[in-house]
Structure 1
């Protein structure tokens, strides 16, 4: 369906991203390499997403300065099994947010189907690859126009206006990511 490359501006990275669709799911396979604040890293992630843009499973394999890490997650109704253990901190969380990719913004953008000027608060499992953190975060998305969404992390001061294409994939995330190639 889509193959593209994102350049990580702040995180000095490149991401080679593939999104395919079968009869019941979207499948994402992606590889990121980069360097940030003295940390060299590589990330391979695979996601299984239903056709309503709900995340069902993820596998994230990373290496930061030669230290390898693997994180897995599976949604079991309204609970999350993270590395084979049910984590009650994430009960009822519909989305994930992987720190080094703009793709996980596509999940709520496409799932929420907001009307122009509407906004919605969401709970996400935030996965900070470089610091090996997994934590709950509350975010808000507001649809500004057909291709622009205002993102607000409600627990920090971080805000951004994200521009997406007709498929909800990030074209420009100011200061963080930019799409530089697509086929």
Structure 2
């Protein structure tokens, strides 16, 4: 992408959920060794209210390093903490989550923010495409799966996103920082501040 988040500030925004009632307050913050993506999501799923708060840290290459998630709903509260080492091994405490080994990105299911990770990491030119394997964090279960994905850069600020071998396809619009502005049928940005 052409622009960079200011290393002196943050980008803050709000997304509105399109499929069901909900919204997210999100911040993208620069840090000396990489980036922080942090969001608070409130949404309705199956007629039930859910709250998810997450923080993802990356290195300078936009590879996921840590993931912290808090989920609250009528069933109570659950937390998940993950870290990724330099060999792309994923750890929950002292236990390796072996099936995620090699995944460079987290994909938190309830937010469009984590699409920024492969978009920035891959640095595709218009017309280029790449296949990736993401660690998909399902919400509200907090189950972790490997999700094959494909990103194709259609224009300066538009990507085609495909997952599960093309069973899901969306055209995603992003801003100059690679942050989603419109992700039909899921999300649209309704407010933003600069960095």
Q: For this structure pair, what is the TM-score category when the shorter chain's length is used for normalisation?
A: over 0.9
Q: Which residue of 1 aligns with 2:50?
A: 41
TM-score, normalised relative to structure 2: 0.89
- List gaps (5 residues or longer) in structure 1: none
Q: Could you tell me how far 1:155 is from its partner in structure 2?
A: 4.1
RMSD after superposition: 1.3
Q: Deviations over 1:128-162 (max 9, x none)?
A: 11233211110000000100000000346110000
Task: List aligned pairs for 1:11-160, cutoff 5 A.
Answer: 11-77=20-86, 78-155=88-165, 157-160=167-170
TM-score, normalised relative to structure 1: 0.95
Which stretch has the larger CA shift, 172-181 or 124-133? Answer: 124-133
DSSP-derived class of the 1:104 partner: helix
State how far apart, in whole Å, the 2-side matches of 1:11 and 1:155 are.
25
Q: Could you tell me how far 1:51 is from its partner in structure 2?
A: 2.0
- Say if 1:165 and 1:66 are closer, same or farther in 2 by CA, change over 3 A: same
Q: Between the two structures, name the one with larger relative contact order (CA 8 Å, sep ≥ 6).
A: 2
Q: Which residue of 2 aligns with 1:179?
A: 189
Confirm or deny: 8 A CA contact 2:37 2:113 kept in the other structure: no
The number of aligned residues is 183
Confirm or deny: 8 A CA contact 1:137 1:155 kept in the other structure: no
- List gaps (5 residues or longer) in structure 2: 1-9
